[in-house]
Amino acid sequence: MGTMTGMLEEGSSHGKKYGKLKKDEFDGYNSDNHPRKNSPVTLDAPHLDPQMAIDHTAYDPSLSPLSKSPWSSHMNEEGSTSNDNEALIGSLVREEGHIYSLAATKELLYTGSESKNIRVWKNQKEFTGFKCHSGLVKAIVIAGEKILTGHQDGRIRVWKVSGKNDQQHKRVATLPTLRNYIKCSVKPSNYVEVKRHRNVLWIKHYDAISCLAVTEDHCYIYSASWDRTFKVWRTSNFKCLESVIAHEDAVNALVVGLDDLVFTGSADGSVKIWRREVHGKRTKHFFSHTLLKQECAVTALTMSGEGNFLYAGSSDGLVNYWVRETNWEHRGTLRGHKLAILCLAAAGSLVFSGSADMSICVWKRSLSQEHTCLNVLSGHCGPVKCLAAERDLDGMCNERRWILYSGSLDKSVKMWKVSENATAQHNHQAPRQSVDLFPIVSSLKRVGSKRF
């Protein structure tokens, strides 16, 4: 694909062609009888409906499909005796639903899947859960006291733990908010033309949300989507401040860096840098430059904890990385997978890459900025779709140890214990099963496996 030719495509999207707000996009907005409110949204539906379902139904465990199809926790108290799985400390196996998103914070693990339930785990046991009406949960991010979830229907939902009951999560907002949606809809210039000659409000993602991110001060929320845009939201009032047409194809990944920089990776094979400026009550993002341009889709991004290293995974199984101190100069490529990279995570001096080849590579970054593969974690029998890491507080005082969570399309979450003090292992692994032998779901088929 060619690069974008003008700043109009690189900047914020404004009204190009517009139309009237359709009656069925507005009437019945809060009605349970709306003909499309509870209709399933498929992965092959780029024309997602702009109507907004208000899903404040309280979570009732007895009504959850998990009551019929429970998770089971398989803990390995003494650790595995096999070389391949010596870091595996436990598994959470579910009878239904691929795992698409994870977030870990304060001893809690949030898991999102294709079901309507978001599960919360504590000490490897089910703690609580909450539900929405959209189905597939593509992204989960923790922002202080708020839990943000991004969905297949193009909406963001904001949740908060009840002050009276820490097992109860209340939905405090759905983005865009109803107030923002109505106010924006009366102005014709707020409509933009999308494919198939369709006009939508610029504040609404018209395709699935691929990832979420928040700034370090929690002032801004970023959402990236398969609709080729990323949007910026103010956390205090959940107002959409800006929409940026970032790429020529789906935006698969977005991370927020230091120096007011934002990095995006896309199915068009590029990684781009954007610079954020604040103008009064608004933000404005300016295209800086392109770090990578290739044929293979960029599928995942992650930033080191201190913000000095950027990593990008691709559908060819490679991980490229850049260094901040040399103005984001490309410093190398990590080669450890046979199939597409689906997710990345960073913790301390470690980088984790999850792949469609069902394995997780553990990389350690040296002071000379070189990377060594410490271990290959095998145990999943399906593509590894998401990763999350948190500090292991039980580690020795002179040891930096991490708990790594991995979610897979094999419907399980596994927990691994990984140390930065470990040395590279030369495991004699069994031949990896080809992903062709695993029932690939439609999310890996779409657009030549470029949207993730």
pLDDT digits (tens, 9 = 90+) for 352-398: 999 999 999 999 999 999 999 999 999 999 999 999 999 887 766 66
Mean pLDDT of 114-139: 86
Distance CA(148)–CA(156), nearest Å, equals 7
Sequence-distant (≥ 6) Cβ neighbours of residue 45 within 8 angstroms? none
Of the candidates 104, 174, 178, the one whose C-alpha atom is nearest the C-alpha of residue 390 is 104
**Distances from the Cα of 340 to the Cα of 98, 154, 177, 296, 336, angstroms:** 18, 25, 36, 10, 11
Average pLDDT taken over every residue of the chain: 79
**Token representation of residue 368:** 């000379």
**107 falls in which pLDDT band (50, 70, 90)?**
confident
SS3 376: strand
Helices (H), 259-373: none
Longest dimension (CA), the chain: 65
- Residue 439: is its pLDDT beyond 60? no
DSSP secondary-structure letter at 385? E
Give the SS3 label for residue 181. helix
pLDDT category at 115 given cuts 50, 70, 90 is confident
Q: Is 62 helix (H, G, I), strand (E, B) or coil?
A: helix
**Which region among 239-248, 355-364, 423-432 has the lowest average model confidence (pLDDT)?**
423-432
pLDDT at 402: 93
User: Taking Cα atoms as reference points, which of 381, 382, 346 lies closest to residue 365?
Assistant: 346
Whether 50 shows a pLDDT value over 80: the answer reads: no
For residue 219, is pLDDT > 60? yes
Give the span between the Cα atoms of 409 and 384, in whole angstroms.
7
- The pLDDT value recorded for residue 396 is 65
Question: Using 50, 70 and 90 to split pLDDT, how confident is the model at 16?
Answer: very low
Kindly write down the DSSP assignment for every residue of 110-132, as one continuous string: EEEESSSEEEEEETTEEEEEEE-
Identify the residue with better confidence: 300 or 22.
300
**pLDDT value of position 436:** 37
Cα separations (Å) of 133 from 143, 148, 352, 354, 452? 22, 15, 32, 29, 22
Q: Is the dihedral of CA 359, 127, 112, 203 positive or negative?
A: negative
User: What is the spatial distance between Cα 155 and Cα 164, in angstroms, rounded to a whole number?
Assistant: 28
Cis amide leading into 176 (omega within 30): yes
The answer to whether 415 and 404 are in contact (CB under 8 A) is yes
* Whether residue 435 has pLDDT greater than 50: no
Residue 206 has pLDDT above 80, yes or no: yes
46, pLDDT greater than 90: no
pLDDT of 11 reads 45
Q: What is the pLDDT of residue 444?
A: 47
29: pLDDT strictly greater than 50: no
The pLDDT score that the predictor gives to residue 397 is 66
Q: In this predicted structure, what is the pLDDT of residue 304?
A: 94
Dihedral, 84, 90, 95, 99 alpha carbons, nearest 10 = -80
pTM: 0.79
The distance of Cα 128 from the centroid of its chain, to the nearest Å, equals 22
Confidence of residue 305 (pLDDT cuts 50, 70, 90): confident
What stretch of H or E contains 180? helix 178-185
Least confident range from 8-22, 80-94, 243-257: namely 8-22
- Residues linked to residue 346 through DSSP beta bridges, in sequence order: 351
- H/E segment holding residue 444: helix 442-449
**DSSP E strands: which ranges in 30-98?**
72-75, 88-93
Which of 127-141, 153-167, 337-351 is predicted least confidently?
127-141
Q: For residue 121, what are its two tokens?
A: 């785990």
Q: What is the pLDDT of residue 86?
A: 53
Output the pLDDT for position 442: 39
Question: What's the pLDDT score for residue 37?
Answer: 36
